[in-house]
Structure 1
Amino acid sequence: MKDQEPVAFTGYQKFVIFILAITQFTVILDFMVMSPLGDMLMKSLNLKPQAFGFAVSAYAFSAGISGLLTAGFADKFDRKKLLLFFYMGFIAGTIFCGLAHTYAVLVAARIITGLFGGVIGSISMAIITDLFALQQRGRVMGFVQMGFGGSQVLGIPIGLYLANAWGWEAPFWMVASLSIVIAILIAVRLKPVADHLKVQKDKSVYKHFLHTVAKADYRVGFASTALLSIGGFMMMPFGTAFAVNNLGLTNAQLPELFMVSGISTLVIMPVVGKLSDKIDKFKIFIAASVWTMIMCVVYTNLGVTPLLLVMVFNILMMMGVMSRMIPSSALTSAIPEQADRGAFMSINASLQQIAGGVAAAVGGLIVTQQSKGSPLQHYDTVGYVVVGISILSILLMSRVDKLVKRRMESSKAAIVPEEALAH
């Protein structure tokens, strides 16, 4: 069954897509620049790898907690004001990172940045769901999530270039400067997003949170998002170590690999977004999941491989991963009712962060390394675990798909009698 014909965007909707995409870009870039700065930061602040790993995970952990804490408030305010408040907090945290000269201050700065930055994605999702019809959301998700690819293309090369020229603090100052310009644009040009306030029923913040968690349909959405995140994050933390120690790449070749992967996502995402507005979203999700499973098994079983072939395999894998992400995000966005969207998106984003942290920890228990520089062992096992989780994800997403289609049918059935009465 096909969706309706794609609905064209208005000029203002195009501005909203741009501002949300560039906002998402800065938030992801802030997270991504920590990776290439690892060696420089460890030497500058005299850190062990474990300590640096904690500084990175502090962001994700605080972002997950933040989403749960703010879920009850998420539908009580104009979404524009909420976006500005958290974005200003994110900017302050990023500036704090640039001023950090001790490990304790850096961790504190990353926690602050995570507390504010971790909620911005869910607010953006709520705005998208409020302002765009389901038949437009695939394309919107495709453009907004290009921030992930853009941060890979720009985050590592520009972050390293600035850090080499002016010190490891420089990338944070770059992100903060760009974010200040974006915050001004949001304040001046984005219109209030407050229609959800007219349909609010829960007066208490705590009751609103419980009311959102209590809905069985919502819990299906939460579970599907968490499973997708576990599958996605389990391989990611060890990708660079696998590329160097198993595939035989040099550290100098890694920026090229990241850049090519990033450029591929910039090309893939808008195409998949358009397709998911024309073709059944769940069918695209199934095809992408099967493709991802195949590529995960192939990639995790590779031995020493030339750079060009590694790039090809990475692009093929990114095709599957991104082609799952866009239709699944669009379908999940259609689950909550207008009055609950902010709370739903906040809880959903939190579970995504927390599930990612759990996945990284589980992956760490599976993968072993006999000595520094020796090949990773059992990385192929992680690939097989991802396959199992992907199969469960398809089953859960089929329930989400049925929920959304049932809701759309009931909406159409409600409109017909109203039109009949009008005649």
Structure 2
Amino acid sequence: MKTEQPQTAFTGYQKFVIFILALTQFTVILDFMVMSPLGDMLMKSLSLKPQAFGFAVSAYAFSAGISGLLTAGFADKFDRKKLLLFFYCGFIIGTIFCGLAQSYAVLLAARIITGLFGGVIGSISMAIITDIFSLQQRGRVMGFIQMGFGASQVLGIPVALYLADHLRWEAPFWMVAAIGVAALIAIAIYLKPITAHLAIQKDKSALLHLWHTAAKPDYQVGFVATALLSIGGFMMMPFGTAFAVNNLKIPNADLFKLFMVSGLSTLVIMPLIGKLSDRIDKFKIFMAASIWTMIMCVVYTNLGPTPLWLVMILNVMMMMGVMSRMVPSSALTSAIPDMADRGAFMSINSSLQQIAGGVAAVAAGAIVTKKTDYSPLEHYDIVGYVIVVISVLSILGMLRVDKLTKKKMESKKVVIPEQEAVLSEGF
């Protein structure tokens, strides 16, 4: 197997950056993902059909995608710390409004507001990571950042379900807002300004900068690969809990166990995959994980009533594939843009990711049907087959990204992380 450059140790400040960005990711991911475990409760309490619930999930994704496109031209015009503070503050306010919602229409509006701000946070974080960490460190960094996904399942979702069961379904949003306020204070006090990119800006117009970024052929390859990956990754998510309750016959009281076990496995898998991504070829890891994901998606979506222990095992095996694709793909994609374009590139890329997720939720809602509130979901297996087709296309897309990344590495001199943010246009 092909090895990459020797690994470089993290400084104390870099460790803080990893922690605080992981915490913001935890809140943003939990805010988005909590809709899935609340899905069965919401559909029954509000008498929603799968298609209506799919639209409720996609409303956040579409608004996040639109927000990313609108802000992409400005993403490289400001200190990245100030951008993170502004959008994270808006995200917290939107989440508070979700907790105040008393009807489906108000909840839908609140989800749109939350998406407008929350959808940009991931792209700002990626730009910060690319500015501060070298490519040889980014696999490990992404492994830790993506632990926010696992932590949301181990800590966030079980607690959210407990609060929803014992209080109201709005309670999880209040929990996310409280954690977000603590993270916001830490960012304001300890995160240093990130402004090196401001010295090398060429486009005076934000719209012109957006156009120049979106028009570059190499960047377009990354955009397409990300969109394909997101469609395949989001299709099963909106109806995962409803499928577990109504088809696999898992009691609502045991759902937290399912999420906790899969989340714990993610906390172990993500750092391991991050280290492997920095040691061996990132694309090979991505391709192997994608093939494994295709197999497990087909198996899982064709299940009938199944014992909880077996569902846990299969869910962990499926999550191994899904999450193991995220780390190497994120690291590879981060190497495409030059420093001057990173904010805009990450914003556009994040927007397409969110929009693709919204399309996936709407598509899954159109495929899946349900006769009554308590009857099994139908045609969920078709969702699994669609994921297989899209995963094959995502492998081909990421192969092109890998070739561009290696070509860029060969043409640029590798510098240490502290130099990269100031001296080079980056990887």
TM-score by length of 1: 0.92
CA drift of 1:51 comes to 5.4
Q: Which moved more, 1:30-39 or 1:145-154?
A: 30-39
TM alignment of 1:32-47, pairs within 5 A = 32-38=33-39
CA distance in 1, matches of 2:85, 2:258: 35
Structure 1 residues 176 and 365, CA gap change in structure 2 (3 angstroms): closer
CA offsets per residue over residues 160-211 of structure 1, 9 Å max, x none? 3334444444332222222112111111110111111111101101101110
Q: Verify: 1:381 aligned to 2:389, yes or no.
A: no
Per the alignment, residue 16 of structure 1 pairs with 17
Per the alignment, residue 296 of structure 1 pairs with 297
Contact 2:265 2:316 (8 Å CA) reproduced = yes
CA drift of 1:311 comes to 0.7
Per the alignment, residue 420 of structure 2 pairs with none
* CA RMSD after TM alignment: 2.2
CA distance in 2, matches of 1:54, 1:362: 10
CA distance in 1, matches of 2:402, 2:157: 37
Q: Which moved more, 1:257-266 or 1:362-371?
A: 362-371
Q: Which moved more, 1:203-212 or 1:101-110?
A: 101-110
TM alignment of 1:195-344, pairs within 5 A = 195-344=196-345
CA drift of 1:142 comes to 0.8
CA drift of 1:245 comes to 3.1
Q: Verify: 1:119 aligned to 2:94, yes or no.
A: no
Higher alpha-carbon Rg: 1
CA distance in 2, matches of 1:72, 1:305: 50
CA distance in 2, matches of 1:65, 1:134: 29
Per the alignment, residue 155 of structure 1 pairs with 156
CA distance in 2, matches of 1:88, 1:372: 37
Contact 2:73 2:210 (8 Å CA) reproduced = yes
Per the alignment, residue 403 of structure 2 pairs with 402
CA offsets per residue over residues 238-278 of structure 1, 9 Å max, x none? 22232233323222222211111111111110110111011
Structure 1 residues 151 and 217, CA gap change in structure 2 (3 angstroms): same
CA distance in 2, matches of 1:282, 1:42: 40
Structure 1 residues 98 and 365, CA gap change in structure 2 (3 angstroms): closer
Q: Which moved more, 1:195-204 or 1:296-305?
A: 296-305
Counterpart of 1:283, as a letter, is K
Per the alignment, residue 192 of structure 1 pairs with 193
SS in structure 2 at match of 1:249: coil
CA offsets per residue over residues 267-300 of structure 1, 9 Å max, x none? 1101101110111101111111111112122222
Contact 2:29 2:148 (8 Å CA) reproduced = yes
Structure 1 residues 237 and 56, CA gap change in structure 2 (3 angstroms): closer
Per the alignment, residue 92 of structure 1 pairs with 93
Structure 1 residues 283 and 244, CA gap change in structure 2 (3 angstroms): same
CA drift of 1:155 comes to 2.5
Structure 1 residues 394 and 56, CA gap change in structure 2 (3 angstroms): closer
CA drift of 1:359 comes to 1.5
Say which structure, 1 or 2, has more relative contact order (CA 8 Å, 6+ apart): 2
Structure 1 residues 182 and 359, CA gap change in structure 2 (3 angstroms): same
Contact 1:32 1:155 (8 Å CA) reproduced = no
CA drift of 1:158 comes to 1.2
CA drift of 1:154 comes to 2.2
CA drift of 1:413 comes to 9.6
CA offsets per residue over residues 348-383 of structure 1, 9 Å max, x none? 111111111112222233333455544433332322
CA drift of 1:95 comes to 2.0
Task: For structure 2, list consecutive stretches of 5 or more residues without a partner in the other structure.
Answer: 417-427
Aligned residues: 414
Counterpart of 1:211, as a letter, is H
Q: Which moved more, 1:324-333 or 1:90-99?
A: 90-99
Structure 1 residues 36 and 391, CA gap change in structure 2 (3 angstroms): closer
TM-score by length of 2: 0.91
Sequence identity (%): 77
CA offsets per residue over residues 119-172 of structure 1, 9 Å max, x none? 001100000000000010011111111111111222322113334444444332
CA distance in 2, matches of 1:302, 1:98: 35
Contact 1:75 1:342 (8 Å CA) reproduced = yes
CA drift of 1:102 comes to 4.2
CA distance in 1, matches of 2:318, 2:337: 31
